[in-house]
A = this chain, B = another copy of it.
Amino acid sequence: METNLHRSSQFNEELERLRDDVIHMGTLIENQIKMATQAYVHNDVSAALQVLDNDNQVNDLEKAIDDECIHIIVKRQPTASDLRLIMSIGKIVTDLERMGDETKKIAKSVRNLQKPLHPLPADMLGIRHLADLATKQLQGALSTFAHLDTGEARSVILADDALDAEFKATVRQLITYMMEDPRTISAALEMMTMARAFERIGDHTTNIAEQVIYIAEGRDIRHTSID
């Protein structure tokens, strides 16, 4: 959607800053996910701890962006697409923050896996695959938001199915391991937590994509199947 500039250049700047902050928050989380994944892949506890530490930044950004939104509403009485943008950002930010939490869960699991647990038979490829998919989803959602591209938004929503399928497969595989060797149960449960976190991250990206469609088209497609 091509947009004209506001008459008030300050308003333009404020909206620009708001959008940038959201993207920034998104990018931060993307890095968190990558770092957590790396921590998993390389069994790197310090990286995992770093992820846990960074989450403060995500939280602070959430609060700052909410604050920006409320200030813009007080100052500018936004309407139409501007208002939709701001209200949606209020929702998007919550999703991003939850993604941050999920990343934290992943990092915690990585840390827990370092404890003397009975190892799983093989390095789980599924998790890395899930991480890839989730990262792509997030990237897609952010790009969608940056360009208010509703076509892309729809792709993001549809692509989440792949993530769901991969998640289910991983879970099934983990159950098999657990059944075969009950000593793996603790480890498998940690893995399951990680898998579920990636799956949840995917869900949140679809939420963002739905908000992008609302911003761009004014249609609230939550809880409906997209056609």
A84: chain B residues within 8 A (beta carbon): 70
Q: Digit string of A178-217 for contact with B (CB within 8 Å is 1, else 0)?
A: 1100100110010000000000000000000000000000
A178: chain B residues within 8 A (beta carbon): 178, 182, 185
Are B59's CB and A220's CB within 8 A? no
Complex Cα–Cα for A69 and B84 (A): 11
Could you tell me how many residues of chain A have their Cβ less than 8 Å away from some Cβ of chain B? 29
* In the complex, chain A residues 148-191 whose Cβ is within 8 Å of any chain B Cβ: 175, 178-179, 182, 185-186, 189
**Closest chain B residue to A90, Cβ basis:** B90
Interface residues of A (CB under 8 A from B): 56, 59-60, 62-63, 66-67, 69-70, 73-74, 77, 79, 83-84, 87, 90-91, 94, 175, 178-179, 182, 185-186, 189, 220, 222-223
13 example contacts (A-B, Cβ-Cβ < 8 A) are as follows A62-B223, A63-B220, A69-B87, A70-B87, A73-B73, A73-B83, A74-B79, A77-B77, A90-B90, A94-B94, A175-B189, A178-B182, A178-B185
